[in-house]
Amino acid sequence: MARAGLTAERLTRAGAELADEVGFDKVTVAALARQFGVKDASLYSHLKNSQDLRTRIALLALEEMADRVASALAGRAGKDALEAFAHAYRDYAREHPGRYAAAQLRLDPEVAAASAGVRHAQMTRAILRGYDLAEPDRTHAVRLLGSVFHGYISLESGGSFDHSSPGTQETWARVLDALDALLRNWPAP
Amino acid sequence: MARAGLTAERLTRAGAELADEVGFDKVTVAALARQFGVKDASLYSHLKNSQDLRTRIALLALEEMADRVASALAGRAGKDALEAFAHAYRDYAREHPGRYAAAQLRLDPEVAAASAGVRHAQMTRAILRGYDLAEPDRTHAVRLLGSVFHGYISLESGGSFDHSSPGTQETWARVLDALDALLRNWPAP
DNA sequence: TGCGTTTACCTAGGAGTATTAGGCAAATTA
DNA sequence: TAATTTGCCTAATACTCCTAGGTAAACGCA
């Protein structure tokens, strides 16, 4: 019988698509096998287990996000960079909700340390180059930015903003204005 | 044979405890039945299905959080209120990670509208009474606060802040300083 | 070109979870 | 005390995860 040509990469990619279509939590070994027309047991030659699959999808998502952010950030500084980062991040989450959810997966420390999440963190720091912040405020600010971006996307995609009036597009723009103002006027302790 | 005295409420409460112990995603009808020493089929007299169980835990968590925040907020204004809200929120999430995760569950619009989530949102608005913000900036600011709080807690509990140096306690305090400063100096469009 | 080795995919099966249908006995009410 | 409700049961179906062991296709080499 003909082989389907499975590899860990193809499975990861297909799993990511599936996540975007039906939700990350519904990505299952069985569902993935069905997509390739093979038995679920067959996937275990390529994947250690279902957790391994989820981890691979998470790592893929982190790579893609870091790539996007990197190219969005190239050649920009200050508020320009802040907005580019924010838009790239949010757009990715809207285009790929399943992958974005995957990227929130808690990884083993070693795996996380070797992931594109590190690059991502570095780029968040890079945004602040255009602002006059010394340590440890720089780190506090990085954490604040990460919190706002992640929190906003998470609440928005969860529908928390659906039933009050200004559109989320407008809020997003004003939030970025506010963050820019804050970074330019970071309060002394 | 003796009855276990199951009710939807007891099951919900036990499910919430279980969520805090092993994680919200591992709260299962079977696991809950085991805790009460009954067969899993027995729970279906009290719960519509496993989604119903999860929803009930989420609603419980929303109630508890709204209660905590309400009493933290009583008699406070301005930065005092901001900090009280933030601490109550974060403390709840740290004490009850499973319940906090449950509270993020996407609810049907009608269910959400009847939930304590509404009270929660109103209290976030109440914080802003101490600051001079008119609509629509008030709404933008509410969304920003929600994003920061949720995002920070989510990243912190996911371990994102574990491997960089200032402690998260210090960052949290400085983030609140920054938010207070921002709300007092909200930029014009 | 044919042979051996690797490996991709298979069947079979065990364990856990979600859910429904239908039954008996305990608790409640008349 | 009889009638009714209801709490928990057994049984059965379906789906997911995963392991063990087998077969045949593809590959590497003489």
- pLDDT average, residue stretch A82-108: 96
Under the banding of pLDDT at 50, 70 and 90, the label for residue B188 is confident
Pick the range with the lowest mean pLDDT from B28-32, B84-88, B106-110.
B106-110
Q: Which of B82, B104, B143, B152 to mutate to test the interface with A (most CBs of A within 10 A)?
A: B143
- CB-facing half-sphere around the CA of B114: CA atoms within 13 A: 5
pLDDT on residue A2 = 64
- pLDDT average, residue stretch A109-122: 93
Given an 8 Å threshold on Cβ–Cβ distance, is B175 in contact with A146?
A: no
d(CA B97, CA B18) in angstroms, rounded, equals 11
pLDDT on residue B4 = 72
* Residues in chain B within 8 Å Cβ distance of A23: none
pLDDT of residue B1 exceeding 80 = no
d(CA B40, CA A36) in angstroms, rounded, equals 34
Q: What is the mean pLDDT of chain B?
A: 94
% of chain A surpassing 70 pLDDT = 99
- pLDDT average, residue stretch B65-80: 96
- pLDDT average, residue stretch A108-137: 93
Q: Which amino acid is at B36?
A: F
Q: Which 3 state secondary structure label does DSSP give B144?
A: helix
pLDDT of residue B6 exceeding 80 = yes
pLDDT of residue B100 exceeding 60 = yes
Instruction: Give the minimum alpha-carbon distance from A64 to chain B in angstroms, rounded to a whole number.
Output: 19
Domain ranges of chain A: 8-184
d(CA B164, CA B68) in angstroms, rounded, equals 31
Q: What is the mean pLDDT of chain A?
A: 94
A146-156: pLDDT as tens digits: 999 999 999 99
| Angle separating helix axes B50-73 and B78-95, nearest 10 degrees | 150
pLDDT of residue A1 exceeding 90 = no
- pLDDT average, residue stretch A6-19: 95
Q: Which of B50, B122, B150 to mutate to test the interface with A (most CBs of A within 10 A)?
A: B150
pLDDT of residue B78 exceeding 90 = yes
Give the CATH number of domain B8-184: 1.10.357.10
pLDDT of residue A14 exceeding 70 = yes
Of B3-12, B125-134, B174-183, give the range with the top mean pLDDT.
Answer: B174-183
Under the banding of pLDDT at 50, 70 and 90, the label for residue B116 is very high
Tell me which protein residue sits closest to nucleotide C16, measuring alpha carbon to C1'.
Answer: B30
pLDDT on residue A46 = 94
- pLDDT average, residue stretch A88-96: 97
d(CA A61, CA B13) in angstroms, rounded, equals 36
Selection from B155, B118, B133 nearest residue B82 by Cα? B133
pLDDT on residue B160 = 86
CB B61 within 8 A of CB B99: yes
Spanning CA of A6 to C1' of D21, the rounded length in angstroms is: 21
* Residues in chain B within 8 Å Cβ distance of A104: 154, 158
pLDDT of residue A101 exceeding 90 = yes
Q: Which among A112, A162, A178 has the least Cβ separation from residue B187?
A: A178
d(CA A159, CA A26) in angstroms, rounded, equals 19
The closest nt to B27, taking CA to C1', is C17
Under the banding of pLDDT at 50, 70 and 90, the label for residue A165 is confident
Selection from A16, A144, A80, A36 nearest residue B152 by Cα? A144
Under the banding of pLDDT at 50, 70 and 90, the label for residue B159 is confident
Under the banding of pLDDT at 50, 70 and 90, the label for residue B2 is low
Given an 8 Å threshold on Cβ–Cβ distance, is B146 in contact with A143?
A: no
| Rg of chain B over all Cα atoms, to the nearest angstrom | 19
- Contacts of B46-51 with C-beta under 8 Å, sequence gap 24+, read B46/B6, B46/B7, B46/B8, B46/B11, B47/B8, B47/B11
pLDDT on residue B166 = 86
